[in-house]
A and B are shown apart, each in its own frame.
Chain A
Protein backbone atom coordinates (compact mmCIF):
# COMPACT_ATOMS: atom_id res chain seq x y z
CA UNK A 1 0.00 0.00 0.00
CA UNK A 2 1.30 3.43 -0.88
CA UNK A 3 1.65 6.09 1.80
CA UNK A 4 0.87 9.71 1.17
CA UNK A 5 0.99 12.59 3.57
CA UNK A 6 -1.80 14.94 4.49
CA UNK A 7 -1.00 18.58 4.94
CA UNK A 8 -3.43 20.46 7.08
CA UNK A 9 -4.38 23.56 5.20
CA UNK A 10 -2.47 26.66 5.94
CA UNK A 11 -3.93 29.54 7.87
CA UNK A 12 -5.76 27.81 10.66
CA UNK A 13 -2.67 25.92 11.66
CA UNK A 14 -0.73 28.77 13.11
CA UNK A 15 -3.11 28.90 16.05
CA UNK A 16 -1.23 28.55 19.24
CA UNK A 17 -2.07 29.37 22.77
CA UNK A 18 -1.67 33.01 23.57
CA UNK A 19 -1.42 34.66 26.93
CA UNK A 20 -4.21 34.93 29.42
CA UNK A 21 -5.28 37.53 31.92
CA UNK A 22 -3.74 35.65 34.79
CA UNK A 23 -2.64 32.10 35.46
CA UNK A 24 -5.63 29.88 36.04
CA UNK A 25 -6.21 27.92 39.17
CA UNK A 26 -4.59 30.39 41.52
CA UNK A 27 -6.50 31.65 44.53
CA UNK A 28 -7.79 35.16 44.05
CA UNK A 29 -8.94 37.90 46.29
CA UNK A 30 -11.93 40.09 45.83
CA UNK A 31 -11.25 43.31 44.03
CA UNK A 32 -11.38 46.37 46.20
CA UNK A 33 -14.52 48.50 45.95
CA UNK A 34 -12.91 51.08 43.67
CA UNK A 35 -11.53 48.43 41.32
CA UNK A 36 -14.89 46.84 40.66
CA UNK A 37 -16.57 47.58 37.34
CA UNK A 38 -20.19 47.04 36.45
CA UNK A 39 -20.96 43.71 34.86
CA UNK A 40 -22.46 44.00 31.40
CA UNK A 41 -26.14 43.22 31.30
CA UNK A 42 -27.51 40.33 29.32
CA UNK A 43 -30.97 39.13 28.53
CA UNK A 44 -31.15 35.43 27.77
CA UNK A 45 -33.84 32.76 27.99
CA UNK A 46 -33.69 30.03 30.59
CA UNK A 47 -34.72 26.40 30.07
CA UNK A 48 -38.36 27.29 30.67
CA UNK A 49 -38.26 30.08 28.08
CA UNK A 50 -38.32 32.84 30.67
CA UNK A 51 -36.14 35.91 30.13
CA UNK A 52 -33.21 36.30 32.49
CA UNK A 53 -31.87 39.83 32.78
CA UNK A 54 -28.74 40.16 34.80
CA UNK A 55 -29.87 43.56 36.05
CA UNK A 56 -32.87 41.87 37.69
CA UNK A 57 -30.38 40.36 40.11
CA UNK A 58 -29.19 43.70 41.40
CA UNK A 59 -29.19 43.48 45.19
CA UNK A 60 -27.98 39.87 45.14
CA UNK A 61 -24.55 38.34 45.05
CA UNK A 62 -24.39 36.49 41.74
CA UNK A 63 -22.02 33.89 40.37
CA UNK A 64 -22.12 33.99 36.56
CA UNK A 65 -20.59 30.77 35.27
CA UNK A 66 -19.73 30.27 31.59
CA UNK A 67 -19.60 26.54 30.93
CA UNK A 68 -20.37 23.79 28.41
CA UNK A 69 -21.52 20.19 28.55
CA UNK A 70 -18.30 19.03 26.86
CA UNK A 71 -16.10 20.70 29.48
CA UNK A 72 -14.84 18.35 32.17
CA UNK A 73 -13.55 21.05 34.55
CA UNK A 74 -16.96 22.74 34.29
CA UNK A 75 -18.66 19.53 35.31
CA UNK A 76 -16.47 19.33 38.40
CA UNK A 77 -17.77 22.70 39.59
CA UNK A 78 -21.46 21.99 39.09
CA UNK A 79 -22.03 20.12 42.39
CA UNK A 80 -20.44 23.07 44.22
CA UNK A 81 -22.75 25.52 42.54
CA UNK A 82 -25.76 23.35 43.34
CA UNK A 83 -24.67 23.39 46.96
CA UNK A 84 -24.06 27.16 46.98
CA UNK A 85 -27.46 27.80 45.45
CA UNK A 86 -29.14 25.75 48.19
CA UNK A 87 -27.05 27.12 51.02
CA UNK A 88 -26.99 30.84 50.23
CA UNK A 89 -30.11 31.46 48.19
CA UNK A 90 -32.06 32.78 51.18
CA UNK A 91 -29.24 35.21 51.97
CA UNK A 92 -29.50 36.84 48.56
CA UNK A 93 -27.29 34.70 46.36
CA UNK A 94 -27.83 33.15 42.94
CA UNK A 95 -25.89 31.15 40.40
CA UNK A 96 -26.50 31.84 36.71
CA UNK A 97 -25.05 29.29 34.31
CA UNK A 98 -24.39 30.46 30.75
CA UNK A 99 -23.85 27.50 28.45
CA UNK A 100 -21.60 27.96 25.44
CA UNK A 101 -22.71 24.75 23.74
CA UNK A 102 -23.06 25.23 19.99
CA UNK A 103 -26.13 23.01 19.80
CA UNK A 104 -27.87 24.82 22.65
CA UNK A 105 -30.74 23.16 24.45
CA UNK A 106 -30.33 19.91 22.52
CA UNK A 107 -27.34 19.04 24.72
CA UNK A 108 -28.01 21.31 27.65
CA UNK A 109 -31.57 20.31 28.57
CA UNK A 110 -30.77 16.62 29.19
CA UNK A 111 -27.57 17.62 30.96
CA UNK A 112 -29.51 19.83 33.38
CA UNK A 113 -31.77 16.89 34.17
CA UNK A 114 -29.02 14.31 34.54
CA UNK A 115 -26.93 16.56 36.76
CA UNK A 116 -29.95 17.78 38.76
CA UNK A 117 -28.92 21.41 38.33
CA UNK A 118 -31.00 23.62 40.62
CA UNK A 119 -29.93 27.05 39.34
CA UNK A 120 -30.91 28.90 36.20
CA UNK A 121 -29.19 27.97 32.98
CA UNK A 122 -29.20 30.03 29.81
CA UNK A 123 -27.67 29.51 26.37
CA UNK A 124 -24.94 32.07 25.78
CA UNK A 125 -24.10 33.93 22.61
CA UNK A 126 -21.05 35.40 20.96
CA UNK A 127 -22.30 38.83 21.97
CA UNK A 128 -22.50 37.94 25.65
CA UNK A 129 -19.07 36.33 25.44
CA UNK A 130 -17.65 39.52 23.95
CA UNK A 131 -19.38 41.69 26.54
CA UNK A 132 -17.63 39.72 29.25
CA UNK A 133 -14.24 40.15 27.62
CA UNK A 134 -14.34 37.24 25.12
CA UNK A 135 -14.80 33.94 26.88
CA UNK A 136 -12.23 31.69 25.23
CA UNK A 137 -11.69 29.15 27.98
CA UNK A 138 -14.14 27.28 30.10
CA UNK A 139 -15.04 27.38 32.85
CA UNK A 140 -14.88 31.13 33.30
CA UNK A 141 -16.82 32.65 36.17
CA UNK A 142 -17.53 36.10 37.50
CA UNK A 143 -18.67 36.81 41.04
CA UNK A 144 -20.76 39.95 41.26
CA UNK A 145 -21.45 41.97 44.35
CA UNK A 146 -24.91 43.16 45.29
CA UNK A 147 -24.36 46.31 43.24
CA UNK A 148 -23.88 44.27 40.07
CA UNK A 149 -20.15 44.90 39.93
CA UNK A 150 -17.53 42.29 39.14
CA UNK A 151 -15.80 41.51 42.41
CA UNK A 152 -13.72 38.62 41.06
CA UNK A 153 -13.26 36.51 37.97
CA UNK A 154 -11.87 33.02 37.58
CA UNK A 155 -10.58 31.41 34.42
CA UNK A 156 -10.36 27.65 34.72
CA UNK A 157 -11.09 25.35 37.59
CA UNK A 158 -10.43 26.88 41.00
CA UNK A 159 -10.88 25.49 44.47
CA UNK A 160 -14.36 25.30 45.87
CA UNK A 161 -13.24 27.10 49.00
CA UNK A 162 -12.15 30.13 46.98
CA UNK A 163 -15.65 30.56 45.61
CA UNK A 164 -17.19 29.94 48.98
CA UNK A 165 -15.00 32.50 50.73
CA UNK A 166 -15.79 35.12 48.13
CA UNK A 167 -19.53 34.50 48.27
CA UNK A 168 -19.61 34.67 52.06
CA UNK A 169 -17.54 37.87 52.13
CA UNK A 170 -19.75 39.53 49.57
CA UNK A 171 -22.94 38.47 51.31
CA UNK A 172 -21.65 39.96 54.56
CA UNK A 173 -20.21 43.12 53.02
CA UNK A 174 -22.48 46.12 53.56
CA UNK A 175 -20.34 48.29 51.23
CA UNK A 176 -21.11 46.18 48.22
CA UNK A 177 -24.78 47.06 48.20
CA UNK A 178 -24.41 50.47 46.58
CA UNK A 179 -25.87 50.48 43.10
CA UNK A 180 -24.88 53.97 42.10
CA UNK A 181 -22.49 53.22 39.28
CA UNK A 182 -23.75 49.86 38.09
CA UNK A 183 -24.90 49.79 34.52
CA UNK A 184 -24.41 48.21 31.15
CA UNK A 185 -20.83 49.25 30.57
CA UNK A 186 -18.33 46.67 29.38
CA UNK A 187 -15.97 45.17 31.87
CA UNK A 188 -12.72 45.79 30.09
CA UNK A 189 -11.69 42.35 31.28
CA UNK A 190 -9.88 39.95 29.07
CA UNK A 191 -10.65 36.51 30.37
CA UNK A 192 -9.13 33.34 29.14
CA UNK A 193 -6.75 31.84 26.68
CA UNK A 194 -7.07 32.18 22.99
CA UNK A 195 -6.19 29.52 20.52
CA UNK A 196 -6.94 25.89 20.04
CA UNK A 197 -4.28 23.94 21.86
CA UNK A 198 -3.41 21.88 18.82
CA UNK A 199 -1.22 22.16 15.80
CA UNK A 200 -1.65 20.02 12.75
CA UNK A 201 0.72 19.82 9.88
CA UNK A 202 3.08 17.78 7.85
CA UNK A 203 5.76 16.06 9.82
CA UNK A 204 9.25 16.95 8.62
Chain B
Protein backbone atom coordinates (compact mmCIF):
# COMPACT_ATOMS: atom_id res chain seq x y z
CA UNK B 1 0.00 0.00 0.00
CA UNK B 2 2.84 2.38 0.94
CA UNK B 3 4.56 1.61 -2.36
CA UNK B 4 1.33 2.35 -4.21
CA UNK B 5 0.97 5.69 -2.43
CA UNK B 6 4.55 6.63 -3.26
CA UNK B 7 4.04 5.65 -6.86
CA UNK B 8 0.82 7.65 -7.02
CA UNK B 9 2.49 10.73 -5.56
CA UNK B 10 5.41 10.33 -7.96
CA UNK B 11 3.01 10.12 -10.90
CA UNK B 12 1.19 13.22 -9.69
CA UNK B 13 4.46 15.13 -9.32
CA UNK B 14 5.48 14.08 -12.82
CA UNK B 15 2.19 15.30 -14.29
CA UNK B 16 2.63 18.67 -12.59
CA UNK B 17 6.27 19.02 -13.71
CA UNK B 18 5.31 18.21 -17.29
CA UNK B 19 2.37 20.65 -17.15
CA UNK B 20 4.54 23.47 -15.81
CA UNK B 21 7.27 22.72 -18.34
CA UNK B 22 4.63 22.82 -21.06
CA UNK B 23 3.65 26.33 -20.01
CA UNK B 24 7.19 27.66 -20.44
CA UNK B 25 7.67 29.79 -23.51
CA UNK B 26 9.82 28.23 -26.12
CA UNK B 27 13.16 29.90 -26.41
CA UNK B 28 14.18 30.18 -30.00
CA UNK B 29 15.91 32.67 -32.26
CA UNK B 30 13.16 32.40 -34.83
CA UNK B 31 10.12 34.63 -34.31
CA UNK B 32 6.94 32.94 -35.54
CA UNK B 33 4.27 35.38 -36.60
CA UNK B 34 0.67 34.41 -37.29
CA UNK B 35 -1.21 36.36 -39.92
CA UNK B 36 -4.95 36.08 -40.54
CA UNK B 37 -6.47 36.97 -43.87
CA UNK B 38 -9.39 36.08 -46.08
CA UNK B 39 -9.80 33.61 -48.86
CA UNK B 40 -12.13 35.44 -51.23
CA UNK B 41 -11.10 38.57 -53.13
CA UNK B 42 -7.54 39.48 -54.03
CA UNK B 43 -4.70 37.00 -53.99
CA UNK B 44 -5.38 33.30 -53.56
CA UNK B 45 -3.97 31.48 -50.49
CA UNK B 46 -1.33 29.69 -52.59
CA UNK B 47 -0.02 33.04 -53.82
CA UNK B 48 0.13 34.60 -50.37
CA UNK B 49 1.83 31.45 -49.10
CA UNK B 50 4.39 31.91 -51.86
CA UNK B 51 5.01 35.50 -50.74
CA UNK B 52 5.47 34.29 -47.15
CA UNK B 53 7.99 31.64 -48.25
CA UNK B 54 9.93 34.23 -50.30
CA UNK B 55 9.98 36.51 -47.26
CA UNK B 56 11.20 33.71 -44.99
CA UNK B 57 14.00 32.94 -47.42
CA UNK B 58 15.16 36.53 -47.11
CA UNK B 59 14.55 36.65 -43.34
CA UNK B 60 15.56 33.35 -41.77
CA UNK B 61 14.87 34.73 -38.28
CA UNK B 62 11.14 35.11 -39.02
CA UNK B 63 8.67 32.34 -39.71
CA UNK B 64 5.27 33.32 -41.12
CA UNK B 65 2.18 31.21 -40.47
CA UNK B 66 -0.73 32.28 -42.67
CA UNK B 67 -4.33 31.45 -41.83
CA UNK B 68 -7.21 31.91 -44.25
CA UNK B 69 -10.93 32.23 -43.54
CA UNK B 70 -13.95 33.33 -45.55
CA UNK B 71 -14.76 37.04 -45.32
CA UNK B 72 -17.86 36.37 -43.23
CA UNK B 73 -15.76 34.84 -40.45
CA UNK B 74 -12.89 37.30 -40.45
CA UNK B 75 -14.19 39.97 -38.07
CA UNK B 76 -15.27 37.54 -35.38
CA UNK B 77 -12.07 35.54 -35.72
CA UNK B 78 -10.05 38.71 -35.07
CA UNK B 79 -12.19 39.55 -32.02
CA UNK B 80 -11.83 36.09 -30.49
CA UNK B 81 -8.13 35.99 -31.35
CA UNK B 82 -7.60 39.19 -29.37
CA UNK B 83 -8.99 37.60 -26.20
CA UNK B 84 -5.74 35.63 -25.83
CA UNK B 85 -2.43 36.93 -24.54
CA UNK B 86 -0.36 37.04 -26.65
CA UNK B 87 -3.01 37.40 -29.36
CA UNK B 88 -3.77 34.46 -31.62
CA UNK B 89 -2.69 36.60 -34.60
CA UNK B 90 0.12 39.13 -34.82
CA UNK B 91 -1.50 40.76 -37.83
CA UNK B 92 -4.83 40.52 -39.60
CA UNK B 93 -6.51 41.81 -42.69
CA UNK B 94 -9.13 44.38 -41.78
CA UNK B 95 -12.03 45.58 -43.88
CA UNK B 96 -12.50 49.30 -44.43
CA UNK B 97 -15.53 49.29 -42.08
CA UNK B 98 -13.74 47.91 -39.01
CA UNK B 99 -10.90 50.31 -38.04
CA UNK B 100 -13.08 52.53 -35.84
CA UNK B 101 -14.37 49.61 -33.81
CA UNK B 102 -10.95 47.98 -33.51
CA UNK B 103 -9.17 51.24 -32.62
CA UNK B 104 -11.74 51.90 -29.89
CA UNK B 105 -11.21 48.34 -28.64
CA UNK B 106 -7.45 48.94 -28.53
CA UNK B 107 -6.70 46.12 -30.96
CA UNK B 108 -4.59 47.97 -33.52
CA UNK B 109 -1.00 49.13 -33.19
CA UNK B 110 -0.32 52.74 -34.16
CA UNK B 111 2.24 52.42 -36.95
CA UNK B 112 2.42 56.14 -37.86
CA UNK B 113 6.09 56.37 -36.95
CA UNK B 114 6.96 53.29 -39.02
CA UNK B 115 5.38 54.52 -42.24
CA UNK B 116 8.08 56.13 -44.39
CA UNK B 117 7.47 59.27 -46.46
CA UNK B 118 7.96 57.12 -49.60
CA UNK B 119 5.15 54.80 -48.53
CA UNK B 120 2.93 57.71 -47.62
CA UNK B 121 3.48 59.47 -50.92
CA UNK B 122 3.58 56.33 -53.09
CA UNK B 123 0.29 54.69 -52.12
CA UNK B 124 -3.10 56.08 -53.20
CA UNK B 125 -4.36 58.59 -50.59
CA UNK B 126 -7.78 56.92 -50.56
CA UNK B 127 -6.10 53.66 -49.56
CA UNK B 128 -4.53 55.40 -46.56
CA UNK B 129 -7.93 56.82 -45.57
CA UNK B 130 -9.06 53.32 -44.70
CA UNK B 131 -6.46 52.99 -41.91
CA UNK B 132 -5.98 56.60 -40.83
CA UNK B 133 -7.94 58.07 -37.94
CA UNK B 134 -7.22 61.40 -36.21
CA UNK B 135 -3.91 61.66 -38.02
CA UNK B 136 -2.68 58.27 -36.82
CA UNK B 137 -2.05 55.32 -39.12
CA UNK B 138 -3.13 51.85 -37.99
CA UNK B 139 -2.09 49.57 -40.84
CA UNK B 140 -0.77 49.08 -44.35
CA UNK B 141 -3.17 49.31 -47.28
CA UNK B 142 -3.44 45.98 -49.09
CA UNK B 143 -6.32 45.73 -51.54
CA UNK B 144 -8.24 48.55 -53.18
CA UNK B 145 -11.56 47.20 -54.30
CA UNK B 146 -14.80 48.75 -55.31
CA UNK B 147 -18.08 47.38 -56.59
CA UNK B 148 -18.22 47.32 -60.38
CA UNK B 149 -21.05 47.23 -62.85
CA UNK B 150 -20.59 44.34 -65.25
CA UNK B 151 -22.76 43.31 -68.15
CA UNK B 152 -22.96 40.49 -70.65
CA UNK B 153 -22.09 41.93 -74.08
CA UNK B 154 -23.71 39.08 -76.01
CA UNK B 155 -27.03 39.36 -74.21
CA UNK B 156 -27.13 43.13 -74.72
CA UNK B 157 -26.30 42.72 -78.39
CA UNK B 158 -29.02 40.11 -78.87
CA UNK B 159 -31.45 42.47 -77.17
CA UNK B 160 -30.48 45.16 -79.66
CA UNK B 161 -28.51 47.49 -77.40
CA UNK B 162 -25.22 48.89 -78.55
CA UNK B 163 -24.23 50.41 -75.22
CA UNK B 164 -24.69 49.52 -71.56
CA UNK B 165 -27.03 51.65 -69.44
CA UNK B 166 -25.71 54.92 -68.03
CA UNK B 167 -28.52 55.33 -65.53
CA UNK B 168 -30.53 52.94 -63.38
CA UNK B 169 -33.64 53.98 -65.31
CA UNK B 170 -31.97 52.91 -68.56
CA UNK B 171 -31.00 49.64 -66.91
CA UNK B 172 -34.65 48.96 -66.12
CA UNK B 173 -35.62 49.72 -69.74
CA UNK B 174 -32.94 47.41 -71.12
CA UNK B 175 -33.79 44.70 -68.58
CA UNK B 176 -37.44 44.78 -69.64
CA UNK B 177 -36.50 44.24 -73.28
CA UNK B 178 -34.08 41.43 -72.36
CA UNK B 179 -36.78 39.75 -70.31
CA UNK B 180 -39.45 40.21 -72.96
CA UNK B 181 -37.19 38.68 -75.60
CA UNK B 182 -36.69 35.70 -73.29
CA UNK B 183 -32.90 36.05 -73.29
CA UNK B 184 -32.79 35.50 -69.53
CA UNK B 185 -35.57 35.18 -66.97
CA UNK B 186 -34.10 37.67 -64.51
CA UNK B 187 -31.74 40.18 -66.14
CA UNK B 188 -30.20 41.65 -62.94
CA UNK B 189 -28.68 40.04 -59.87
CA UNK B 190 -27.43 41.53 -56.61
CA UNK B 191 -26.08 40.37 -53.25
CA UNK B 192 -29.04 41.41 -51.11
CA UNK B 193 -28.95 38.68 -48.46
CA UNK B 194 -28.87 39.64 -44.80
CA UNK B 195 -25.16 40.38 -44.73
CA UNK B 196 -22.83 43.26 -45.45
CA UNK B 197 -23.23 42.83 -49.21
CA UNK B 198 -26.73 44.33 -49.16
CA UNK B 199 -25.42 47.45 -47.41
CA UNK B 200 -22.68 47.72 -50.05
CA UNK B 201 -25.25 47.58 -52.84
CA UNK B 202 -27.51 50.02 -50.97
CA UNK B 203 -24.52 52.38 -50.67
CA UNK B 204 -23.99 52.22 -54.43
CA UNK B 205 -27.64 53.09 -55.08
CA UNK B 206 -28.02 55.62 -52.24
CA UNK B 207 -25.06 57.75 -53.31
CA UNK B 208 -26.07 57.21 -56.92
CA UNK B 209 -29.33 58.92 -56.03
CA UNK B 210 -27.56 61.83 -54.37
CA UNK B 211 -28.28 60.49 -50.88
CA UNK B 212 -26.05 59.87 -47.87
CA UNK B 213 -25.96 57.81 -44.68
CA UNK B 214 -25.32 60.64 -42.22
CA UNK B 215 -25.58 64.41 -42.34
CA UNK B 216 -22.77 66.72 -41.24
CA UNK B 217 -23.87 66.43 -37.61
CA UNK B 218 -23.76 62.61 -37.71
CA UNK B 219 -27.54 62.19 -37.79
CA UNK B 220 -28.81 59.34 -39.99
CA UNK B 221 -30.46 60.61 -43.18
CA UNK B 222 -30.61 57.42 -45.25
CA UNK B 223 -34.33 57.33 -44.45
CA UNK B 224 -34.98 60.59 -46.27
CA UNK B 225 -36.74 60.86 -49.61
CA UNK B 226 -33.65 59.73 -51.54
CA UNK B 227 -33.09 56.66 -49.41
CA UNK B 228 -36.75 55.66 -49.58
CA UNK B 229 -36.74 56.14 -53.36
CA UNK B 230 -33.77 53.77 -53.62
CA UNK B 231 -35.34 51.05 -51.48
CA UNK B 232 -38.65 51.41 -53.31
CA UNK B 233 -36.78 51.03 -56.61
CA UNK B 234 -35.00 47.91 -55.34
CA UNK B 235 -38.31 46.32 -54.35
CA UNK B 236 -39.92 47.35 -57.62
CA UNK B 237 -37.23 45.65 -59.71
CA UNK B 238 -37.98 42.41 -57.85
CA UNK B 239 -41.73 42.81 -58.25
CA UNK B 240 -41.33 43.43 -61.99
CA UNK B 241 -39.22 40.30 -62.35
CA UNK B 242 -36.15 42.25 -63.44
CA UNK B 243 -34.02 41.56 -60.38
CA UNK B 244 -33.66 37.87 -59.62
CA UNK B 245 -35.90 37.32 -56.56
CA UNK B 246 -33.21 35.04 -55.14
CA UNK B 247 -31.08 38.18 -54.66
CA UNK B 248 -32.69 38.48 -51.21
CA UNK B 249 -30.81 35.31 -50.22
CA UNK B 250 -27.75 35.74 -52.44
CA UNK B 251 -24.24 36.82 -51.60
CA UNK B 252 -21.53 37.89 -54.02
CA UNK B 253 -20.55 34.30 -54.77
CA UNK B 254 -24.08 33.40 -55.86
CA UNK B 255 -24.33 36.56 -57.95
CA UNK B 256 -21.12 35.51 -59.64
CA UNK B 257 -22.36 31.96 -60.21
CA UNK B 258 -25.53 33.33 -61.81
CA UNK B 259 -23.64 35.78 -64.04
CA UNK B 260 -21.02 33.21 -65.05
CA UNK B 261 -23.77 30.74 -65.97
CA UNK B 262 -25.16 33.31 -68.42
CA UNK B 263 -28.35 33.65 -66.37
CA UNK B 264 -27.96 37.39 -65.74
CA UNK B 265 -27.32 40.23 -68.14
CA UNK B 266 -26.16 42.64 -65.41
CA UNK B 267 -24.38 42.12 -62.10
CA UNK B 268 -22.91 44.40 -59.45
CA UNK B 269 -19.92 42.72 -57.86
CA UNK B 270 -16.30 43.02 -56.77
CA UNK B 271 -13.41 42.81 -59.21
CA UNK B 272 -12.82 39.06 -58.87
CA UNK B 273 -15.95 38.34 -60.89
CA UNK B 274 -14.34 39.65 -64.07
CA UNK B 275 -11.28 37.37 -63.96
CA UNK B 276 -13.52 34.40 -63.13
CA UNK B 277 -15.83 35.23 -66.03
CA UNK B 278 -12.92 34.60 -68.41
CA UNK B 279 -11.87 31.38 -66.70
CA UNK B 280 -13.31 28.54 -68.79
CA UNK B 281 -13.21 26.16 -65.83
CA UNK B 282 -15.74 28.35 -63.99
CA UNK B 283 -17.54 30.31 -66.64
CA UNK B 284 -19.92 29.71 -69.51
CA UNK B 285 -19.58 33.30 -70.71
CA UNK B 286 -15.85 33.53 -71.47
CA UNK B 287 -15.18 36.77 -73.32
CA UNK B 288 -18.71 38.09 -72.86
CA UNK B 289 -18.34 40.11 -69.66
CA UNK B 290 -17.62 43.82 -69.83
CA UNK B 291 -17.38 46.76 -67.44
CA UNK B 292 -19.33 49.96 -67.58
CA UNK B 293 -19.27 52.85 -65.13
CA UNK B 294 -21.74 52.19 -62.31
CA UNK B 295 -25.06 53.77 -63.38
CA UNK B 296 -26.66 56.51 -61.30
CA UNK B 297 -30.24 57.72 -61.07
CA UNK B 298 -31.34 60.30 -63.63
CA UNK B 299 -32.43 62.79 -60.99
CA UNK B 300 -29.00 62.65 -59.40
CA UNK B 301 -27.27 63.11 -62.76
CA UNK B 302 -29.02 66.41 -63.20
CA UNK B 303 -28.01 67.31 -59.65
CA UNK B 304 -24.35 66.77 -60.58
CA UNK B 305 -23.71 63.21 -59.39
CA UNK B 306 -21.25 61.75 -61.90
CA UNK B 307 -20.80 58.32 -60.41
CA UNK B 308 -21.21 56.26 -57.27
CA UNK B 309 -19.90 53.01 -55.94
CA UNK B 310 -18.77 51.65 -52.60
CA UNK B 311 -15.28 51.33 -51.22
CA UNK B 312 -14.46 47.72 -50.33
CA UNK B 313 -10.76 48.15 -49.65
CA UNK B 314 -8.86 46.30 -46.99
CA UNK B 315 -5.59 46.68 -45.12
CA UNK B 316 -3.27 44.70 -42.90
CA UNK B 317 -3.02 45.84 -39.29
CA UNK B 318 -0.65 44.78 -36.53
CA UNK B 319 -2.35 43.63 -33.34
CA UNK B 320 -1.49 45.96 -30.45
CA UNK B 321 -0.43 43.20 -28.07
CA UNK B 322 1.79 41.23 -30.42
CA UNK B 323 5.18 40.33 -28.95
CA UNK B 324 6.67 40.74 -32.45
CA UNK B 325 5.70 44.19 -33.77
CA UNK B 326 8.99 44.74 -35.61
CA UNK B 327 9.02 41.36 -37.33
CA UNK B 328 5.33 41.68 -38.23
CA UNK B 329 5.84 45.16 -39.67
CA UNK B 330 8.76 43.85 -41.71
CA UNK B 331 6.54 41.16 -43.20
CA UNK B 332 3.65 43.54 -43.87
CA UNK B 333 5.89 46.05 -45.64
CA UNK B 334 7.21 43.20 -47.81
CA UNK B 335 3.70 41.87 -48.49
CA UNK B 336 2.45 45.30 -49.54
CA UNK B 337 5.64 46.42 -51.26
CA UNK B 338 5.47 47.68 -54.81
CA UNK B 339 7.75 44.87 -55.94
CA UNK B 340 5.49 42.11 -54.56
CA UNK B 341 2.27 43.82 -55.63
CA UNK B 342 3.54 44.18 -59.19
CA UNK B 343 4.71 40.56 -59.20
CA UNK B 344 1.20 39.41 -58.37
CA UNK B 345 -0.67 42.14 -60.24
CA UNK B 346 -2.24 39.49 -62.44
CA UNK B 347 -4.54 38.64 -59.51
CA UNK B 348 -4.87 41.94 -57.69
CA UNK B 349 -4.32 45.52 -58.74
CA UNK B 350 -1.51 47.29 -56.86
CA UNK B 351 -2.01 50.02 -54.27
CA UNK B 352 0.94 52.03 -55.58
CA UNK B 353 0.18 55.11 -57.66
CA UNK B 354 3.35 54.81 -59.74
CA UNK B 355 2.16 51.49 -61.17
CA UNK B 356 -0.68 53.26 -62.94
CA UNK B 357 1.59 55.77 -64.66
CA UNK B 358 3.94 55.77 -67.64
CA UNK B 359 5.88 52.62 -68.45
CA UNK B 360 4.69 50.87 -65.27
CA UNK B 361 1.12 51.16 -66.49
CA UNK B 362 2.03 49.28 -69.65
CA UNK B 363 3.80 46.62 -67.56
CA UNK B 364 0.75 46.38 -65.35
CA UNK B 365 -1.59 45.98 -68.30
CA UNK B 366 0.66 43.29 -69.76
CA UNK B 367 0.77 41.33 -66.50
CA UNK B 368 -2.46 39.52 -67.25
CA UNK B 369 -4.89 39.20 -70.15
CA UNK B 370 -7.57 40.76 -67.90
CA UNK B 371 -5.52 43.78 -66.85
CA UNK B 372 -5.97 45.82 -70.05
CA UNK B 373 -9.66 45.80 -69.14
CA UNK B 374 -9.58 45.87 -65.33
CA UNK B 375 -6.98 48.63 -64.96
CA UNK B 376 -8.99 51.28 -66.87
CA UNK B 377 -12.17 50.06 -65.15
CA UNK B 378 -10.50 50.55 -61.78
CA UNK B 379 -9.23 54.02 -62.70
CA UNK B 380 -12.73 54.98 -63.90
CA UNK B 381 -14.66 53.61 -60.92
CA UNK B 382 -12.43 54.04 -57.87
CA UNK B 383 -12.68 57.86 -57.73
CA UNK B 384 -16.41 57.42 -57.13
CA UNK B 385 -16.07 54.92 -54.29
CA UNK B 386 -18.07 56.12 -51.30
CA UNK B 387 -17.38 55.08 -47.73
CA UNK B 388 -19.85 53.45 -45.44
CA UNK B 389 -20.08 55.32 -42.10
CA UNK B 390 -16.87 55.31 -40.06
CA UNK B 391 -18.36 54.72 -36.63
CA UNK B 392 -17.26 52.29 -33.88
CA UNK B 393 -20.70 50.68 -33.72
CA UNK B 394 -20.80 50.05 -37.47
CA UNK B 395 -21.46 46.30 -37.33
CA UNK B 396 -24.60 46.67 -35.24
CA UNK B 397 -25.76 49.67 -37.26
CA UNK B 398 -25.20 47.77 -40.47
CA UNK B 399 -27.18 44.80 -39.10
CA UNK B 400 -30.13 47.13 -38.41
CA UNK B 401 -29.95 48.45 -41.97
CA UNK B 402 -29.64 44.94 -43.42
CA UNK B 403 -32.79 43.96 -41.55
CA UNK B 404 -34.65 47.07 -42.71
CA UNK B 405 -33.76 46.48 -46.36
CA UNK B 406 -34.78 42.82 -46.14
CA UNK B 407 -38.05 43.71 -44.44
CA UNK B 408 -38.87 46.07 -47.29
CA UNK B 409 -37.72 43.68 -50.01
CA UNK B 410 -39.82 40.84 -48.63
CA UNK B 411 -42.83 43.09 -48.28
CA UNK B 412 -43.00 42.85 -44.49
CA UNK B 413 -42.72 46.63 -44.10
CA UNK B 414 -42.88 49.67 -46.33
CA UNK B 415 -39.49 51.13 -47.33
CA UNK B 416 -40.22 54.27 -45.30
CA UNK B 417 -41.20 52.39 -42.14
CA UNK B 418 -38.26 49.97 -42.40
CA UNK B 419 -35.69 52.73 -42.96
CA UNK B 420 -37.19 54.90 -40.19
CA UNK B 421 -36.79 52.03 -37.73
CA UNK B 422 -33.19 51.45 -38.81
CA UNK B 423 -32.43 55.16 -38.49
CA UNK B 424 -33.90 55.16 -34.96
CA UNK B 425 -31.62 52.24 -34.09
CA UNK B 426 -28.61 54.17 -35.43
CA UNK B 427 -29.52 57.14 -33.23
CA UNK B 428 -29.80 54.82 -30.23
CA UNK B 429 -26.43 53.22 -31.00
CA UNK B 430 -24.80 56.62 -31.47
CA UNK B 431 -25.97 57.77 -28.05
CA UNK B 432 -24.50 54.77 -26.21
A and B pair up: no
Binding site for A on B (CB under 8 A): none
Chain A interface residues toward B at CB < 8 A: none
